[in-house]
Structure 1
Amino acid sequence: MGKIEMYHIEYEKPKVTLLQQSGLGVAEIAARTCYDSFENSENECVKNAMQTLDTDAINDIDDSELLSNLAWVHHHHSIIEHATLSYLIQGTSRGVLQEHARHRLQAISVRSTRYTMSSVINAFVASLEAEEGFAFFFETLLTLNLFVISDKAYLQIEIRAIYDKLRFQYQRDNDFIQNAVAKSSLPFLEEHKGDAVALYAALESGKKKRNVGDGFKHIVTDNWKVDMVVTFNIRSLKNYFDLRDSGAAWFQIQWLAEAMKAVTPVKYLKLIDKDHRNKA
């Protein structure tokens, strides 16, 4: 993942991989069904679809004059909702997630904090046995690569805030340890008393506390790194790119939109992106 400096803070850019594409054929079949115009298609598999349906050939279609005409001349975009793309997004931020979720017509599955915070909580519990608790916590969290920020000076601010919030909770909650550590791992606390490194290793190798994030999600910041899988139909993808691949958009979501567009096949972009249409 590339690194870039914004506001004198160094950030990592997200990585995007195209997982699947449905093709344009279903969208053309849908359009031809509306107009009963199968015989006018330049694609033989569409022309003969009502007599002999070759779904493999239909899903391999790379171009459609009808879809282009409907998209750019008549602005009839509902037809292209039948074409979908799925992306694996790695290393964007929870701040981007909040912006991204405003795009209603998408399927989105996001890395859960409920089930994936145990290493952070283990690091804090182990830090209680360290002579310099924050120093141990800070160095341990650096190894987990949890943030889109890679600037170590700024990370110290982020991680200090997390540490302070956990410390505040620990001092007020008599059940903190029981909520943080699986029952089968509780003996490790006595076994490795005074040895933060050994305790952290033992907690990490032991059973993870189920839903550990439920009691600790308040520590998460907008710069917390998340992975997600998103699926858009290309009408919704057009709206996403129009709004987010724009100088008016927040820089982190611009980076994501740029990375998504970079892995989107040209046959779809020709229907939804003016720059690619003009190159066609």
Structure 2
Amino acid sequence: MEEIYGIQYTRPQVVLLQDTGIGVAETAARTCYDSFTNSENEVIKNLECNLPDESMCQELNSIEESALLDDLAWTYFHHSILEHANLSFLIRGTSRGVLQEHARHRIQAISVRSTRYTMSSIINAFVAAKITDNRAFFIENVLSFNMFVTADEAYNRLEISAMFDKLDFQYEKVEDFYSIAVAKSSLGFLDEFKNDTQALYGALQNGKKKRNVGDAFKHIITDNVKVDMVVTFNLRSLKNYFNLRDSGAAYFQIRWLAQEMMKVTPQKYLDLIVKKK
């Protein structure tokens, strides 16, 4: 947890899910130069006269060092061969603001927690709170979701209070608000528990969720909301990402993310893409 501009924030968590190794990248480079026999890696030398079998491929993917790749990356700046190595990261607890920054990195595969399908609990809390005009119920329940990268409870209460106001504004504008907020099969709960906020919330939570409920309510959340995602970079793109985002000029939240990603990136990749200090 760190304080930035007077507000406390939590850092994201990152796990490396998979990496394809550097052996394929060296194989690609040796193919360009027809120089298999010059490799210090015996399995690559054997590719001169042999198509690899399964055991050779496993050995290829376990290579830890490559002098050729190091020369191409740092002496000749021939970076296209780095595109043959890929790394996938699971990221938890970064922000929607960082997601916008990520979109500027063209060459990556990215899958993100969807607000279309994951806002039911927030809307259910509002519907339950609105039945008895219990604003505090909404704030306390949403606060328990731990849904913001900001860690100051007082600030997060302001965020949640603003969410309530936005939903309340929409409630007054939409003639049949509950039809867009609650699954058809759960509408009966509104009469059944009309005097019991907690019971109504529990029934809505346990009932069928409204499909795509976020379509009508995305406007209530801010860039401060946490998102989870899986991203896959090829090594050349990851080099670009680390160069730009592990920089004092970068937005501090994406700089934190780049730093956490770097921590879980094996050294054999960092040696090829990050300048030694």
Under TM normalisation by the shorter chain, which class is it? over 0.9
- Does the Cα contact within 8 Å between 2:132 and 2:194 map onto a contact in 1? no
Instruction: Please tell me whether the aligned partners of residues 103 and 240 of structure 1 are also in contact (alpha carbons under 8 angstroms).
Output: yes
Q: Which SS does the other structure have where 2:47 is aligned?
A: coil
User: Which residue of structure 2 lines up, in the alignment, with residue 147 of structure 1?
Assistant: 148
What amino acid maps onto 2:72 in structure 1?
Answer: L
* CA distance, structure 2, for counterparts of residue 57 and residue 170 of structure 1: 62
SS of equivalent to 1:113: coil
Give the Å deviation of 1:130. 3.0
Gaps of 5+ in 2: none
> Could you tell me how far apart the structure 2 residues matched to 1:85 and 1:176 are?
44
Other-structure match for 2:58 = 56
1:21-170 equivalent positions in 2, closer than 5 A: 21-50=19-48, 51-53=50-52, 54-131=56-133, 133-170=134-171
Q: Tell me by how many angstroms 1:134 deviates.
A: 1.9
CA–CA distance in 2 between the matches of 1:73 and 1:39? 21
Supply the distance in 1 between the matched residues of 2:58 and 2:121 (Cα, whole angstroms): 46
Using the TM superposition, give the Cα deviation of residue 52 of structure 1 relative to its aligned residue in structure 2, in angstroms: 4.5
Structure 1: gaps spanning 5 or more residues:
none
Q: Take 2:140 and 2:263, find their aligned partners in 1: how far apart are those partners?
A: 35
1:101 positional shift: 1.2
* C-alpha distance after superposition, 1:76-100 (max 9, x if no partner): 0000010010000000000010001
Alignment-mate amino acid for residue 187 of structure 2: L
**Displacement of 1:156:** 1.6
Cα drift, residue 5 of structure 1? 1.2
- 1:179-258 mapped onto 2 (5 Å cutoff): 179-258=180-259
Following TM superposition, where does structure 1 have runs of at least 4 consecutive aligned residues deviating by more than 4 angstroms? none
Q: CA-atom RMSD, angstroms?
A: 0.9
Tell me which moved more, 226-235 or 159-168.
159-168
Aligned partner of 1:11 among 9, 12, 24: 9
Aligned AA (2:202): A
Given the two structures, how large is their TM-score scaled by the length of structure 2? 0.97
Deviation of residue 241 (structure 1)?
A: 0.5
Determine the C-alpha separation between the residues in 2 that align with 1:107 and 1:240: 13
SS of structure 2 residue aligned to 1:104: coil
How many residues align? The count is 273
CA–CA distance in structure 2, aligned partners of residues 150 and 127 of structure 1: 24
For residues 240-261 of structure 1, what are the alpha-carbon distances to aligned partners after superposition, in whole Å with 9 as ceiling and x for unaligned? 0011001111111111000000
Question: Deviations 1:213-242 (Å, cap 9, x if unpaired)?
Answer: 111111120001100000001110011001
Q: Counterpart of 2:154 in 1: which secondary structure?
A: helix
SS of the counterpart of 1:162?
helix
Check the 8 A contact 2:95/2:149 in 1, yes or no.
yes
**What SS is found at the alignment partner of 1:49?**
helix
Amino acid at match of 1:164: D
Match of 1:107, as an amino acid? A
Given that 2:143 and 2:157 are in contact with CA atoms closer than 8 Å, whether structure 1 keeps it comes out as: no
CA distance in 1, matches of 2:195, 2:3: 40
Contact 2:108 2:231 in 1 (8 A): yes
Tell me which moved more, 16-25 or 142-151. 142-151
SS at match of 1:33: helix
- Cα separation, 2, equivalents of 1:136 and 1:14: 28
Deviation at 1:112, TM superposition (A): 0.1
